[in-house]
Amino acid sequence: MQRGAAVIRLPRPTDSVTRLDFSGASQGVAGEGGLHVSAELRLLQLVCHRATSPLKTARRIAILTGVRSAYKRALVRNVERVENIVIGTRGSALALAQTEMVAQQLAAVHPHLSVEVKIIKTEGDRKQGTPLAAQSDKKDWIIDLERALLAGEIDMAVHSGKDVPGEIEPGTEIRSILKRATPYDAFVGKIQPDGKRLSFANLPHGAIVGTASLRRKASLRTNRADIVLRDHRGNVPTRVKKLDESPDLSGIILAAAGLERLALPDLQYEVLPRDVILPAMNQGALAAQVRTGDERVSKTVSALADVATAAEFVAERAVAEVLGGDCHSAISIFAEAHGEELSITCRIFEAEGVRSVSYAHSGPISRAAELGTYVGREVLSRGGADILGPVRHTS
């Protein structure tokens, strides 16, 4: 036998084997039904585990190895019984905390599931701390994860819902997972001499507040025209550190959900009501991105869905799809489930917050997507199209 070869045991249909045996080169033929293959075919196990179509994968194996159809079918059945899933995520503290939440829930729902986490650096991560950060859009934070997903390197990607743009890569699907956390924004004030942090209500006239979000800026200008707004970027711990080290910042605005999930010790913050800042699309929700047609992973992930959150998630994205805005638009979209009813509010601002268009509507939760589409069209017809202007894109 050629050195460097491997042995794949293709079980008979009656066998109860649950894993394929890729043993070392020195073991020789594995008996009747055993097949000598080159070392490169070790990759077949990975291919099978990532297969969106086990039958297609089995056919490819048959072409490569000349396996008889009976063994091919047995291979497919055994591959499908291997319970393993690889989750892709960014490497920030928040991303890892969120992915750990998902992994724990998967393990709770599927006790025999083996979960692996793979950290992937995104274009947005690479731009952090550089002048290019100001030019980033939402796609920068997920594109590398999408590529890994389509390449079969991961089975699913976990994102903060608000970081996922309206347009995702063809061949993938997005869905909400777990129950939505607090969807509102939060204010973290400067530490005062008494050790407490400054409250939003006590911001002095002309105070400097940090945020890079156009939505937050426009909302704050509407409520407190005297506030001076300054771009403030970075992951959550970095932003808090920059605030505490800054000689002139009075506070910063962050998503409350991120602060909840990180549970930073001794960090005081206050959640801002929706009449101060209306949330962004899918803020507080977690999203799983999977390959289209990957029934194995889709079925696994579906067990993590929360009915109310899923309806809110779908409705908000339906509004955004109609609006066609992007992260360079000041858009708030917030859906809230109340039993069998779903309310949706959308507000679009001019960049400076001088003019805005708002619309709210409610209806059956079972019609979440339809309601979202209706709200989006109403906002556009009431002046939203003029405000969005050149930044608006349609699919």
Which whole number is the average pLDDT over 242-256?
Answer: 97
Q: Which of 140, 144, 163, 294 is catalytic?
A: 163
Global pTM reads 0.77
Q: Quick one: pLDDT at residue 354?
A: 75
12-26, 96-110, 256-270, 318-332 — which is least confidently predicted? 12-26
**Type of residue found at 325:** G
At residue 342's C-alpha, the angle toward residues 336 and 346, to 5°, is 60
Residue 41 has pLDDT above 50, yes or no: no
* All structural domains of the chain: 6-80 (no CATH), 83-179+280-305 (3.40.190.10), 185-271 (3.40.190.10), 306-395 (3.30.160.40)
Give tens-digit pLDDT for 125-150.
Answer: 787 777 766 656 678 889 999 999 99
Which whole number is the average pLDDT over 345-372?
Answer: 93
Binned at pLDDT 50, 70 and 90, residue 56 comes out as: low
Binned at pLDDT 50, 70 and 90, residue 57 comes out as: low
User: Using an 8 Å Cβ cutoff, are 65 and 47 in contact?
Assistant: no
Which whole number is the average pLDDT over 97-105?
Answer: 95
User: In the annotation, is 294 catalytic?
Assistant: no
Residue 287 has pLDDT above 70, yes or no: yes
Which whole number is the average pLDDT over 185-207?
Answer: 96
Strands 34-37 and 286-291: unpaired
| CA dist 240 → 92, 187, 188, 197 (Å) | 14, 11, 8, 12
Q: Quick one: pLDDT at residue 352?
A: 72
Binned at pLDDT 50, 70 and 90, residue 123 comes out as: confident
Binned at pLDDT 50, 70 and 90, residue 43 comes out as: very low
